[in-house]
Amino acid sequence: MNTQYYSHGRPLSDVGLKAERLLGRYPSISERELDELIDIFPRLPILDLALMTADDRISAKVAEFHQAHRARLKTPRAALIVLIGIFLLVPAVTVALAWPG
């Protein structure tokens, strides 16, 4: 079975490109670079993270990094609030639209 490499359908964001460069060299990065990667990883756009996870060249490093530094990766509170809001809003809108009247 041959592995085929495809270019990204959409370019990564600036922060995604920076994370991709650091992950490409991980774990052989400096402490400063590791701290920087830990800082930017939770703020990566979800599409950037999905593209890197699907990329055969760095997906194993993404998993290794996440496993090794899970405790230090914090999701920003604003993102959690938005996520909770979406989970509450979708059922409410669905019920409102389905309600006869």
Quote the tokens at residue 94: 């669905």
pTM score of the predicted model = 0.65
Helix, strand, coil fractions of the chain, as percent rounded to 5: 70, 0, 30
Question: Any idea how long the chain is?
Answer: 101
What does the pLDDT read at residue 73?
A: 86
Q: Indicate the SS3 state at residue 44.
A: coil
- What's the number of CA atoms in the CB half-sphere (13 Å) around residue 76? 10
pLDDT of the chain along its 101 residues, tens only? 555 455 556 789 999 999 999 999 999 999 999 999 999 998 899 899 999 999 999 999 999 999 999 888 876 676 667 778 888 888 888 888 888 76
Position 101 scores a pLDDT of: 64
Closest listed residue to residue 39, CA positions, set 89, 84, 76: 76
The pLDDT value given to residue 3:
53
